[in-house]
Amino acid sequence: MGDRVLVAGPARVKIDPGPAPGPVAGFRFAGVHGGLKTGGRRDTALIVADSPVPTAAVFTRNTAAAAPVVVARKHAADGLAQAVLINSGNANAATGSTGLKLAEWSCRELGTRLGIKPGLVLPCSTGIIGVQLDRRRMARAISLAADALGPRRANACGRAMMTSDAFPKWASRSVLLPGGETATVAGLAKGAGMIHPGMATLLCVLVTDAPLSSGAAGAVLAEAVASSFNSITVDGDTSTNDTVVLMASGLTGGEAIRSRKSAGYELLATAVGELTDELSRMIVRDGEGATRVVNVLVEGAPADADAERVARAVATSTLVKAAFAGGDPNWGRIVVALGNSGVDVNFKRVAISVDDVALVKAGELLSEEARRRAARVMKNDTFTLAIRLGRGPGRARIVTSDLTEAYVRFNTAYS
């Protein structure tokens, strides 16, 4: 789908994600105001399969994992799930045993409402850290969400997941499988701040009617997350609540996709990868205070792992990100980040370009005219910073945003 119409707002760049995904066979959605947020804003999202389905999930690497992550990890371990319950406005993180008991209770409460086992529910939370969830309000929210379920309510569901997001994030793809069946893959995501490789303050639920086994779903999801949600950064902070879930109803029919060798695996993996890449770029676009999205591409490293270390060093550098905000091709700051990456860099071989403008060659600025041309390109809301090290075949990409005064203002008063 790509980027839609951009609308300049107060210190934010908004994006119209287009229409929400339509029905996906075997799934229903809901998004309601249950009283967890003020002002009547939707705060409880629900995705439910008609029956237990093959499921894969990836969670935060932060060791201070939130209560719902602890519970969801346990429930997803057997590769089956039927419902994803998401509340926004409260992360239920740093809430101790009380928060853990509430996350477990929420699964039982929803299970009772839907007539399913609590172990088939994956709970997710997002919002303020360190504040206990109100059980009475959560019970009301669960009841309302269960009553609101429908196949065409992905719009409401996506909006109920939002916290500091400026816009909802959703996308879908159709995949023609080898047997002639057309499968649908749809994704709903949220995220704007605390975004960093190793995932971020993000939640994402992907649903498909393709006949995926839980093992194949796990392989597909791992590949997709590595090149999307784990390849973005906004502010260098990894959250306590990150969760990405893939559920497959199999109702499109056709030959089962059980492994990488199965017919249809590559087609479906490509579609899921494209979908998560699109959603992850929306998250960077929506970075708190962000006005620019920058692709930091590193080539010519000794190995891919080295390229990734260099790309992350550049993409997370406060000085470099501030230069992005000012549209300033300050290549000296980039060199400093290269030197801090821990990778052995021969600076006499370094070449840097901004889109198609060559800025640095053999470790030196080409000309003042090159710098001025690069500065003009950096006024765009999206551009690529390419760094070539001349040391080998290693290659990596990290997508980052600029760092503006608006980010600081926003995060001095988030509550």
* pLDDT the model gives residue 413: 61
Domains delineated in the chain: 6-285 (3.60.70.12), 293-411 (3.10.20.340)
Look up tokens 């109920």; give the residue.
160
Residue 88 and residue 43 in contact, taking contact as beta carbons nearer than 8 Å: yes
What residues have CB less than 8 Å from 44, skipping those under 6 apart? 30, 31, 32, 33, 34, 36, 85, 86, 87, 88, 141, 142, 144, 145, 160
* pLDDT the model gives residue 1: 28
pLDDT single digits (tens) 318-332: 999 999 999 999 999
* C-alpha pair distances (Å), 66 with each of 101, 123, 137, 210, 340: 12, 11, 19, 31, 32
Low-confidence ranges of the chain (pLDDT < 50): 1-12, 194-200, 415
Residue 290 and residue 241 in contact, taking contact as beta carbons nearer than 8 Å: no
Look up tokens 């993409």; give the residue.
315
Q: How many Å apart are CA 217 and CA 209, to the nearest integer?
A: 12
pLDDT single digits (tens) 94-122: 999 999 999 999 999 999 999 999 999 99
* pLDDT the model gives residue 3: 27
* pLDDT the model gives residue 169: 96
What is the token pair recorded at 58?
Answer: 């990836």
Torsion of CA 69, 70, 74, 77, to 10 degrees: 50
Torsion of CA 260, 263, 267, 272, to 10 degrees: -50
Look up tokens 């959603």; give the residue.
279
Catalytic sites, residue numbers: 201
Q: How many Å apart are CA 190 and CA 170, to the nearest integer?
A: 9
Name residue 26's amino acid.
G
Q: How many Å apart are CA 40 and CA 33, to the nearest integer?
A: 6
Q: How many Å apart are CA 18 and CA 172, to the nearest integer?
A: 11
What residues have CB less than 8 Å from 102, skipping those under 6 apart? 67, 92, 95, 132, 133, 135, 138
What residues have CB less than 8 Å from 192, skipping those under 6 apart? 163, 164, 165, 166, 201, 234, 283, 286, 287, 288
* C-alpha pair distances (Å), 50 with each of 30, 53, 151, 156: 14, 8, 11, 19
Look at residues 208, 58, 212, 57 and name the one whose alpha carbon lies nearest to residue 120: 57
* pLDDT the model gives residue 191: 84
pLDDT single digits (tens) 8-49: 333 445 567 889 999 999 999 999 999 999 899 999 999 999
pTM of this structure:
0.85
